[in-house]
Homo-oligomer: A and B are copies of this chain.
Amino acid sequence: MRCAILGGAGFLGQHIGRALAHAGWDVWCVDRAAPPPPGNAPWFAGALRADCFDLQSWWGAVAGVELIVHLASSTVPATASQDPMHDVQTNLLGTLRLLQDLRRQAARPRVLFASSGGAVYGRPQSVPLSETHPTLPISAYGATKLAIEHHLHIEEAQHGLPCRILRLSNPYGEWQPPHGVQGVIAVFAHRALHGLPLDVYGDGSVVRDFIYAADVGRAFAAAAHHAGPQRVFNVGGGAGHSVNDIIHSLERLLGHAVQRRVLPARPFDPPVNVLDIRRAREELRWQPTMALEDGLAQAVAWLRTVP
């Protein structure tokens, strides 16, 4: 059983790679970025530096792939908003090119796609958000994730490429870079560790769904073998936590108060976004196992090693 993780060198790729290796897969990392040093990610059977969307550049080198985990993305929500054409050109057209090239192969590997439970639904009409909630993305990032989902369904119906789509909430955990524009837990925890103030938009009551990245890894391992008719699964923590909750938990963990810098609330932040994960519980026989306080402690322990 061999699999390739496209975008495997990143934070999530490492967690998903570890979970798949644990489940018996021979896991290859394909990424245009350098792979983690082998000592840091011993679960990768091999790593290739290549353009994930250019099948020819890696398919031959990783022979016999039965599973493709598609995490490759050139954007985050903020950069996709700034340049929606670039988002479409790279991520949507790149995925279409990959699908087209896969049609020419005899093999029909299963594709697991990391979509966004925070972006494809848009403004929640009710929470928790189930997979049947209307999909009305309010960001370019969400529109592209959803268009890729639709093309994956079409590819399976018309060309027999099996797929499963995992709509992730907000993953966090060790290896999440704390200097990016994504990942509030990593950013907050790292700043708090260095005595820097935390930027809070509005009163901090905004509720989000956080999922420990190793739990995300186990969801992908489960989806690799899922046999039912469903194709789309929410993968979240199963509960909501406010930004203030996160800050209080951090304060408890660190043993001291942290400073906040209060900024105006952002009109495009829905007040609450929590995923309904019943389908994943029932169909994938998966559920998150890490309590937020414990996962935070793991993340903070790792962030202490990051300058």
A residues touching B (Cβ–Cβ < 8 Å)? 81, 84-85, 88-89, 92-93, 96-97, 100, 132, 134-140, 142-144, 146-147, 150-151, 153-154, 157-158, 268
Contacts and interface: CB of A to CB of B under 8 A. Distances in A.
B134 A140 contact: no
Nearest to A99: B84
11 contacts: A84-B100, A84-B151, A88-B92, A88-B93, A136-B150, A136-B153, A137-B150, A137-B154, A143-B151, A143-B154, A146-B150
A80 to B, nearest CB: 10
A154 B135 contact: no
Contacts of A157: 138, 268
A151 B151 CA distance: 17
Nearest to A132: B134
A143 B142 CA distance: 14
B158 A81 contact: yes
Contact of A147 (B100, B139, B147, B154): B147
A144 B135 CA distance: 15
Contacts of A144: 147
* A92, A135, A157, most chain B CB atoms within 10 A: A92
Contacts of A153: 136, 138
Contacts of A142: 150
